[in-house]
Amino acid sequence: MNVLGVRRIVELAKKIRNLEALVHISTAYANCDKDSVKEVVYDPPLHPSKIIDAMEWMDKDAIQVLTSKLIGSRPNTYTYTKAMAEFLLKEESAGLPTAILRPSIVGAAWEEPLPGWVDNLNGPTGLLAAIGKGLLFIMHGNIYCTADMIPVDTATNAIIAVAWYTAIERPKDVLVYNCTSGQINRLTWGAMESSLRENFIVNPCHDMARVPNPRFTPSMFWRDTMWFLDQMVPAYIMDFYLWVTGKKPIFVKIQDRLSKAVTTLEFFTSNEWHFHNDNIFMLLGKMSEADKHTFCFDPRSIDWKKYMINYCLGVKQFVLKEDIAELPRARIALQRLQRIQSLLKVVAAVLVWRLLVKRVPVLHSLWNLLLSWVQFLFMKVPRLARSS
């Protein structure tokens, strides 16, 4: 679809009389196998036409072998086919007023139509919903890496501006625009982690499974360990409770779906890229002050703290369909859940300690020594008080 769809669009565009502009929406991660991504179309290792022809006669096993070799260090076929589509567009759109826009990770709206507006679970939005509901706690990621996000209205404004400039100037070459924020208004995954934890506590969701507490870890071993202990074990316990009470178990299935979604994004939360933005700033320089305000796509205007507050509220309101007016009730429910979790942690700690004391002789001896010291102090303190 990413490749053949582009070819069909180009064929259609060539039949349109008085075509003003053809703007192709790619992704900044089309060339994620490179640390530094310039605003150019890169040549693929194999011509797209050869791959398309080969797909017609190769069987599934051969296609899988070829695919793994072609994508190389890329995390999936999506980013590879996006790069192929760019190359095919550049080759086959000769004579057409064509441009390519590469947004990074697209999130909720910054200003339009409403701050925090979002209408789907794509990209990070689905994970935010899972975090807000107390279903997702651990992800593989580097808190010091850039979370290169771009609000959906910022990307939309950039598309309009690119179409305008392409129609007016009609550049001879296909211009590429990296619509990203990381180099000019940096947000890290660590800052996002803290922001999500804070915002979903201040403005909690209804019917949370557990208290939201998202965290990133650079260790895959620790991620897998904590996924089992902090995600799967509680899911099995909650499903057992649902089964005992005659309800349908759902939490293990939810965790399985979350695992697939998280795995898809972890490549991007664990790495960092340098996206060049020369053409984006050239475009800004060509616009009037009035147009810059109306069609603002300058990432420097984004206040990430305010953006994340609105994003979390937007997920709650527009995705989870929860009434903002019911926030006081949600906060009371969160406080109750916090007390229950604290009590369960104390009970679990006591049970684990009692088990260890019984099974480990050294701990048993230390426990007896501690009890004897406590008993000694209780007997000694009253005597010291009377003597003084």
Check residue 327 and give its pLDDT. 92
- CB within 8 Å of 163: residues ≥ 6 apart: 20, 21, 23, 99
Query: 348: pLDDT confidence band, cut at 50, 70 and 90?
Result: confident
pLDDT tens by residue, 174-223 = 999 999 998 899 999 999 999 999 999 999 999 998 999 999 999 999 99
pLDDT tens by residue, 169-183 = 998 889 999 999 988
103 near 178, Cβ under 8 Å? Answer: no
For the chain, the domains span 1-322, 348-385
* Angle, alpha carbons 359-360-364 (nearest 5°): 100
Question: Considering only CA atoms, which of 134, 137, 105, 128 is closest in space to residue 318?
Answer: 128
Asked: is 1-322 a CATH 3.40.50 domain? The reply is: yes
Measured distance CA(270)–CA(146) in Å, rounded:
9
pLDDT tens by residue, 250-275 = 999 999 999 988 888 899 999 999 99
Query: 367: pLDDT confidence band, cut at 50, 70 and 90?
Result: low
Here the contacts of 12-21 (C-beta below 8 Å, separation 24 or greater) are 13/93, 13/96, 14/96, 19/96, 19/97, 20/97, 20/163, 20/166, 20/167, 21/97, 21/98, 21/99, 21/162, 21/163, 21/164, 21/166, 21/167
Measured distance CA(341)–CA(347) in Å, rounded:
10
Measured distance CA(49)–CA(109) in Å, rounded:
38
Question: Considering only CA atoms, which of 109, 100, 99 is closest in space to residue 28?
Answer: 100
Query: 4: pLDDT confidence band, cut at 50, 70 and 90?
Result: confident
Which pTM value belongs to this model? 0.85
Rg of the chain in Å (alpha carbons): 27
Query: 383: pLDDT confidence band, cut at 50, 70 and 90?
Result: low
Strands 138-140 and 36-37: unpaired
Mean pLDDT of 94-110: 94
Q: Where are the beta strands (DSSP E) in the chain?
A: 22-25, 36-37, 98-103, 105-107, 138-140, 149-151, 175-179, 215-217, 274-275
Check residue 186 and give its pLDDT. 94
- CB within 8 Å of 119: residues ≥ 6 apart: 318, 319
pLDDT at 12 over 60: yes
